[in-house]
């Protein structure tokens, strides 16, 4: 334990884009951020990615879900074993199915297996309690975004936009100390997943690097209009999506126009999110892989009425925000603090999710 109850916590995140595992150390007491430690990344191999992709939509007990869990546990154990000892691990796992109000939520991976492999306590299964109590179970990074805004000394509302497989936003007011009273967060539409899936299926590559192909295309306006008519965009938040988020129909479009249309769909979802914010934000800070797509970032900027910047502009590591978030949440679980609230997941009251497994 560091001074003042601050812990050295290691958080992990394997996103909906199925690219790999991020891990990062955070020094925190579950309320304030005291500093950042080392970080690392382990990509999934093509074979591992194929197992995970085949398991999308699977629920516990299915053989394909068990195969995916084995891949996820092994990948995390290999990556985390390279870190210096920590007092706690926050293990998100790999989301395979997410159906709040229905069958629940399923993140492949066992925190107990990881705790035994590493010899460190592990907090995991962050979403299930929230879903059982009527919440959406997502997004879960907002309380960390609020802590970051306060760490940065911001004095006006700010939006953190995460463009991973799905895009989500956190509007937060750093002038309010308690995150459960200061945040509105929700999934706002598709992120990288449709573009990456299109590239994998039609072009034989993992992604549209830097948005170069999309930059040469023209978004199909008619299909975008049909896309933004989807009722999801008018639904009052909080609200969440899984990897099968609504997306523009790009059938029969050429590759460049298809990718331009998909990128424009992401930007449209972000622009529509502004309709729900309690107060206009002063800036949008972008994290997640989507910030590396210059074409997408230009489209998002064009649709927002305030500056849009990658979080690096604020001195943060945009590749590790999600992993750091689960370190922060793990510390909150260990301290008995809430991890979600009505404004972030729609749960009836602030709730602390997560299961703590000892080695």
Tens digit of pLDDT for each residue in 65-101?
A: 999 999 999 999 999 999 999 999 999 999 999 888 8
Quote the pLDDT of residue 3. 56
Tens digit of pLDDT for each residue in 230-276?
A: 999 999 998 878 766 799 999 999 999 999 999 999 999 999 999 99
Burial category of 348 from C-beta neighbours within 10 Å (exposed 0-12, middle 13-18, buried 19 and up): exposed
Entry pTM: 0.92
Residue ranges, the chain, pLDDT below 50 = none
Strand 166-172 vs strand 158-163: parallel, antiparallel, or unpaired?
antiparallel
Residues in the chain: 359
Quote the pLDDT of residue 65. 96
Quote the pLDDT of residue 98. 85
DSSP state letters, 106-159: EEE--HHHHHHHHTS-EEE--SHHHHHTT-------HHHHHHHHHHTT--S-EE
Quote the pLDDT of residue 128. 94
Quote the pLDDT of residue 346. 93
Q: Cβ–Cβ contacts within 10 Å for residue 38, how many?
A: 12
CA–CA dist 276, 129 (Å, integer): 26
Quote the pLDDT of residue 16. 67
CA–CA dist 178, 342 (Å, integer): 13
Q: What is the CA radius of gyration of the chain?
A: 19
Burial category of 225 from C-beta neighbours within 10 Å (exposed 0-12, middle 13-18, buried 19 and up): exposed
Element (H, E) at 214: helix 212-215
Burial category of 153 from C-beta neighbours within 10 Å (exposed 0-12, middle 13-18, buried 19 and up): exposed
C-beta separation of 40 from 118 below 8 A:
no
Quote the pLDDT of residue 132. 94
C-beta separation of 130 from 107 below 8 A:
no
CA–CA dist 338, 53 (Å, integer): 32
CA–CA dist 196, 290 (Å, integer): 11
Residue 317, CA distances (Å) to 160, 263, 280, 287, 289 in order = 13, 23, 25, 8, 11
DSSP state letters, 225-236: HHHHTSGGGGSP
C-beta separation of 309 from 99 below 8 A:
no
């Amino acid at each position: 334990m560091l001074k003042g109850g601050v812990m050295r916590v290691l958080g992990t995140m394997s996103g909906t884009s199925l690219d790999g595992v991020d891990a990062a150390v955070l020094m925190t007491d579950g309320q304030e951020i005291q500093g950042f430690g080392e970080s690392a990344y382990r990509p999934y191999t093509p074979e591992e990615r194929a197992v995970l992709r085949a398991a999308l939509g699977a629920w516990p007990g299915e053989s394909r879900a068990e195969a995916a869990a084995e891949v996820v546990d092994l990948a995390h154990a290999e990556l985390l074993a390279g870190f210096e000892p920590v007092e706690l691990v926050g293990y998100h796992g790999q989301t395979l199915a997410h159906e709040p109000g229905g069958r629940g939520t399923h993140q492949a991976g066992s925190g107990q297996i990881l705790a035994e492999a590493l010899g460190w306590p592990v907090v995991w299964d962050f979403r299930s309690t929230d879903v059982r109590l009527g919440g959406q179970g997502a997004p879960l990074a907002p309380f960390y975004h609020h802590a970051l805004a306060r760490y940065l000394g911001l004095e006006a509302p700010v939006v953190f936009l995460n463009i991973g497989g799905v895009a989500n936003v956190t509007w937060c007011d750093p002038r309010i100390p308690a995150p459960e009273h200061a945040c509105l967060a929700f999934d706002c539409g598709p992120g990288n997943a449709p573009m990456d899936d299109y590239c994998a299926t039609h072009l034989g590559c993992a992604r549209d690097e830097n948005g170069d192909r999309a930059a040469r295309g023209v978004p199909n306006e008619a299909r975008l209009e049909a896309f933004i008519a989807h009722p999801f965009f008018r639904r009052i938040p909080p609200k969440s999506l899984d990897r099968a988020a609504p997306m523009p129909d790009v059938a029969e479009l050429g590759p460049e126009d298809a990718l331009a249309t998909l990128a424009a769909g992401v930007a449209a979802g972000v622009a529509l999110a502004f309709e729900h914010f309690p107060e206009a934000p002063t800036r949008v800070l972008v994290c997640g892989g989507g910030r590396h797509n210059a074409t997408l970032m230009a489209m998002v900027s064009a649709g927002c009425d305030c500056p849009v910047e990658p979080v690096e502009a604020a001195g943060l590591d945009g590749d590790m925000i999600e992993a750091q978030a689960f370190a922060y949440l793990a510390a909150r679980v260990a301290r008995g603090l809430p991890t979600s609230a009505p404004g972030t997941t729609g749960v009836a009251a602030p709730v602390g999710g997560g299961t703590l497994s000892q080695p």
